[in-house]
Amino acid sequence: MNRRTFLGSSIAASLSSVYFEWAAAAKPSWAADSTHPLEPGAANAPQAEHSINPIGLQLYTVRAAMKTDFAGTIAKVAATGYKEVEFAGYFDHSPKDVRELLDKNGLVSPSCHVDYPTVQDKWPETLEAAKIVGHSYIICPWIDEKQRAQAGGWKRAAELFNKAGEESKKAGIQFGYHNHSFEFQDDKSLGGKLPYDFLLAETDPKLVAMEMDLCWISVAGKDPLTYFERYPGRFPCVHVKDWVKDASSNSGYQGAMGQTVKYGGHMADVGQGSINWKNLFANDGRAGIKHYFVENDDPKSAFDDIKISYNYLRDLKF
């Protein structure tokens, strides 16, 4: 089941009882020569000595285990060393039970994902559930392809996001949007403007934050540092996952990548791929990053994989 299907079916099943779940051959710039700012040795790469703390996990990575052993999975995530989690569904557990489980394991959940229909139709109960669990952010991770293709589809999304952000702000919660790669392909309906740029321009930065997926923007061939510089402080949360470049690989992620992103490869544990994490995170202050959520959409062995990523980030100095 892909992210969209998972997100939609989960929320539909759980919000009925005030619970909600989430599911759901251009060469990219970070694959270029060493003069690119995301590559080692770049002249403009900032030099500093910092580390990431705390390290978070997007629980979509362990979704299969969550379905069969919700409490045990949360305990294993905590035992790995993670201190923060971003929910990928409550799996029919009440917000109160989820909060108790987090407290029991010494975890906090600053963020969760909900799908677009939930933002549109079930926002008040979603905000109530979020307050119980302790979320500071609610993130929408997808805009349906049919809406994206319609005239005014992106504009309607921006208007909804501003409205949701205004309502969530009153509840003390920040609304945000999570990207894939399709937001970075030209859209004729926007006069050739990138949808991601359109959303940044058309949403109020006080009401709509951006959770940047550092893998998907890189796969799209765009430089995260450009956005950090242009929109400082707009990216309080990021998804941290890596990508192995393989031009001969037939991508299974076309829905997330969009029609114009042709670059082959596959996801990898953090530190096992091509992204220069040191240079990215040396600019985290400019970006405004507060929460780093490890994610692997297709883990080979979920608990082994989240450990590999955790160890890499725990030891990373930048």
Residue 170 has pLDDT above 80, yes or no: yes
Residue 32 has pLDDT above 80, yes or no: no
pLDDT band, very low/low/confident/very high, at 114 (cuts 50, 70, 90): very high
252-266 per-position pLDDT tens digit:
777 888 866 666 789
pLDDT band, very low/low/confident/very high, at 5 (cuts 50, 70, 90): low
| Tokens (6 digits) for 61 | 């990575």
Q: Which fold has domain 3-315?
A: TIM Barrel (3.20.20)
174-194 per-position pLDDT tens digit:
999 999 999 999 898 998 899
The residues with which 208 forms a beta bridge, in sequence order, are 175
Nearest one of 111, 81, 112 to 312, comparing CA atoms: 81
Question: Cα 137–30–186 angle (5° rounding)?
Answer: 70
For the chain, give the percent of residues with pLDDT over 90.
Answer: 75
Please indicate whether residue 198 or residue 256 has the higher confidence score (pLDDT): 198
Answer yes or no: are the C-beta atoms of 159 and 196 closer than 8 Å.
no
Residue 51 has pLDDT above 60, yes or no: yes
- CA 67 centroid distance within chain: 21
Amino acid at 12: A
| E-state strands within the chain | 56-58, 84-87, 108-113, 137-140, 174-178, 208-213, 237-240, 242-245, 265-268, 291-294
266-286 per-position pLDDT tens digit:
999 999 999 999 999 999 999
Q: How many residues does the chain have?
A: 318
Q: What is the mean pLDDT of residues 227-247?
A: 96
CA distance 193 to 100: 45
Q: What is the mean pLDDT of residues 26-49?
A: 43
Average pLDDT, the chain: 87
Q: Where are the domains of the chain?
A: 3-315
Output the CA–CA distances (angstroms, integers) from residue 144 to 24, 77, 81, 249, in the order listed. 11, 31, 35, 26
| Tokens (6 digits) for 112 | 């969760």
203-214 per-position pLDDT tens digit:
999 999 999 999
